[in-house]
Structure formats: C-alpha cells, structure tokens
C-alpha cells in the first residue's frame, strides 16, 4: 500500500476515534452539544496542531485542510444524538451499559493514540529532519497524546498520560519502533503498521494486567 494512502487512513481512523473519546468525555461532564463538539474537535486535532507548530508548518493543517475537523464534528454529533435520543426514549444506563461505554472509550482512545503517534513520526521523516531521532520520536508522542491532554484538561480531569495505563510510554515505544523500522528498512508503510500495532498492544496489555508506573500515594497522609 502507498504510504500516502496509509497515512490518510491513519488520519481518518485517529480523527474518528479521538472524536468519539472526546464526545463521550463531554457527555459525561454534562456538556451541551456545542461543548461536546468543541471537546471532540480539540481531542481529534490538538496533537496535530502542536506538531505542525513545532516543525514550522503554519498555519497548521487543521486550518488549511479542515476535512478532518468536519469528520470530528460529524462523529461527535452522531455520538451526542445517539445518547440524547436514548435518554429521550427512556433508556436507562445501567452499570453494564456504563462498562460498555468505558470499553468503547478505551479502545477509541487507544486506536487514536496509535494512529496519531505513527502519523506524527511520519511528519518528521523529511530529509532535513530524519537524522534527528529525538525530534521525530517527540513529534510522534506529542501528536499521539496532545489531543487527549486537551480533552482531559478541558473536562477538568487529570490528564491520563500522568496517572495510568502506560499511556505516554506506549506512544514513546510505538514512535521508537516506527522510526527504527523505517531507518532499518526504508519502508514507510511497514514501519507505520509496526508502530501502530506495538502501541495498541502495549495499551491493551497495560489495561488488561493493570500495569501502571510507580507513584507515591498520598491518601490519608502527607507525602513528606
């Protein structure tokens, strides 16, 4: 498959997935339809905007080619209207239903993270940048996690990258795999698939086994 086509597919998947996670976060915080749309669009485009500003691609692609903003908004409205009409119809949200929403949120967040991580790495594979491994991995990570940070901060939650499930670490490993594979094989599409797969697998294993980085618990006592 042509690398350009694959990147477009990754952009579409990542946009839709992050828009769903942003819309669900907004609905949980009782936001109205405008707030849900803003949160979904920022979740879907925030990482890419930061990436473009870092590499000097201005205005960011989200503004020069707003097709993915439109995709995010359409996705957010579908999610919002589905939940809205479910409430209007008297559908009660049981613990089982909430568990399903949690699982949907997790997988959308994971797929979005993986898709945008490899997309960010690809954006840095320019002749003038390709030798700077740190920059390219950083571009992958900031593209992957940036939108989720916007989502969590605007919904008054501690950003998930700081607290659980090896979130940013999965993105870092995925970005490193993508870059190393590309440099070793010069195969764009294969490196993107490898990085995407590794990121998803790490996120799933972290969730399944409850992996978290070490931290100091302050419950009921001072840390010092």
Q: In the chain, how many domains are there?
A: 1
pLDDT confidence of residue 150: 93
In a domain, 74, yes or no: yes
The pTM for the full model equals 0.86
| Predicted local distance difference test score (pLDDT) of residue 86 | 84
Q: With a cut of 70, list the residues of the chain below it in pLDDT.
A: 1-2, 91-95, 219-224
Is residue 134 one of the residues assigned to a domain? yes
Give me the domain span that covers residue 50. 3-88+95-209
Helix, strand, coil abundance in the chain, percent, nearest 5: 75, 0, 25
DSSP one-letter string for 46-80: HHHHHHHHHTT--S-HHHHSTHHHHHHHHHHHHHH
pLDDT value at residue 105 = 83
Backbone φ, ψ for residue 196 (5° rounding): -60, -50
Tell me whether residue 223 is in a domain. Answer: no
* Whole-angstrom distance, CA of residue 152 vs CA of residue 170: 18
Q: Give domain status of residue 51, yes or no.
A: yes
Residue 22 lies inside a defined structural domain of this protein: yes
The pLDDT score that the predictor gives to residue 205 is 94
Q: What is the pLDDT of residue 138?
A: 96
Q: Give the model's pLDDT for residue 60.
A: 92
Place of tokens 């490898």: 194
Contact at 8 Å (CB) between 136 and 121?
yes
- Token duo for residue 73: 């908004």
pLDDT for residue 81: 94
Task: Provide the token pair at 204.
Answer: 């799933």
pLDDT value, residue 50: 95
Tell me, yes or no, whether 224 lies in a domain.
Answer: no
Residue-wise pLDDT for 26-56, tens only, equals 999 999 999 999 999 999 999 999 999 999 9
Alpha-carbon distance 206 to 209, whole Å? 5
At residue 212, the pLDDT reads 84
DSSP for residue 160: G
The answer to whether residue 222 is domain-embedded is no
Task: Name, in order, each residue with C-beta under 8 angstroms of 76's C-beta and a sequence gap of 6 or more.
Answer: 19, 20, 22, 23, 26, 36, 37, 39, 40, 41
Q: Is residue 103 part of a domain?
A: yes
């Amino acid at each position: 498959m042509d690398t350009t086509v694959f990147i477009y597919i990754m952009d579409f998947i990542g946009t839709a997935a992050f828009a769903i996670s942003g819309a669900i976060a907004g609905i949980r915080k009782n936001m109205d339809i405008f707030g849900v749309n803003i949160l979904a669009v920022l979740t879907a485009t925030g990482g890419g905007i930061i990436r473009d500003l870092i590499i000097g691609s201005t205005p960011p692609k989200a503004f020069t080619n707003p097709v993915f903003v439109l995709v995010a908004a359409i996705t957010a409205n579908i999610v919002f209207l589905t939940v809205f009409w479910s409430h209007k119809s008297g559908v009660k949200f049981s613990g089982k239903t909430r568990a399903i929403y949690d699982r949907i949120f997790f997988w959308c967040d994971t797929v979005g993270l993986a898709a945008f991580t490899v997309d960010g790495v690809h954006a840095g594979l320019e002749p003038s940048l390709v030798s700077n491994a740190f920059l390219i991995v950083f571009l992958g990570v900031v593209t992957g996690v940036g939108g989720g940070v916007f989502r969590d901060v605007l919904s008054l939650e501690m950003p998930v990258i700081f607290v659980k499930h090896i979130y940013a670490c999965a993105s870092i490993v995925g970005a490193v795999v993508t870059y190393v594979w590309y440099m070793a094989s010069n195969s764009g599409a294969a490196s993107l698939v490898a990085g995407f797969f590794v990121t998803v697998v790490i996120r799933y294993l972290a969730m399944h086994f409850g992996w978290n980085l070490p931290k100091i618990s302050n419950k009921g006592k001072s840390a010092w």
